[in-house]
Amino acid sequence: MPTVDIYNQKNEKVGTLDLSEEVFGQELRKDLIWEVVKCQQARMRQGNSSTKTRAEVSGTGAKPFRQKGTGRARQGTKRSPSMRGGGVAFGPKPRSYSYTVPKQVRRRALCSALSNQARENMLRVMQDLTLDSIKTKPVAEMLKALGVKKALVVDVKENQNLKLSARNLRNATFRPAEGINLVDLLRYQNLVISEAAIKQLEGELKK
């Protein structure tokens, strides 16, 4: 069973925590991580590229020139894709790029990434992440004390002071325990998470 140290906001060790083998003791599955990250990024694509077909461009329906005697290829309308100003043949239309990945694959991929962070010492478990007020400076000082330059900060969603205090930090972002995802884990590498949030996360991923 993996074991990690628990720190306070001054980077002082205050205890240890036994992690769930089911969540933090899994092998690294790059194939599953790649599949889930690809799915997440596909869902973020806007897919709003659009072109007009020959039925949508403006223009007369009259024949642009007579059928024979001009030496040119015959044309039936100025809106044809082969005419200047005509419609686009097989052009892009607004669409959704999203698709789904099985729930168990998403869960295993997330557990795999979390397990790798625990093995690589990129997981910092905090005694608590409560703040008295909404201020960015205490969060920045805490990350500096931890020796973390870029981090995903995770706590329970009720901690609004932390959420609002971390939003101005360029190299850190806040996520509630239920909102943690692979793209953020890979982008920020280091995970700073409260003891309460890690217990909630383990409960969610064991379901």
Q: Give the three-state DSSP class for 6.
A: strand
The two tokens of residue 44 are: 């973020």
**Buried b or exposed e, range 124-162, using 16+ CB within 10 angstroms:** bbbbbbebeeeeeebbbebbeebebeebbbbbbeebebb
The percentage of the chain sitting over the pLDDT mark of 90, rounded to a whole number, equals 80
H or E segment and range at residue 38:
helix 30-44
Give dist(CA 180, CA 130) in Å, integer: 19
The structure tokens listed for 182 are 């692979």
* Mean pLDDT score across all residues of the chain: 92
pLDDT score at 207: 67
| pLDDT beyond 90 at 125 | yes
* Identity of the amino acid at 141: E
Cα–Cα distance, 131 to 91 (Å, whole number) = 53
Q: What is the dihedral of CA 117, 161, 8, 200, to 10 degrees?
A: -50
Domain annotation for the chain: domains and CATH numbers: 3-27+100-205 (3.40.1370.10), 54-93 (no CATH)
Confidence at 102, pLDDT banded by 50, 70, 90: very high
Span 54-84, pLDDT tens digits: 999 998 888 999 999 999 999 999 999 999 9
DSSP character at residue 63: -
> Residue 34: left if φ>0, alpha if ψ -120 to 50, beta else—which one?
alpha
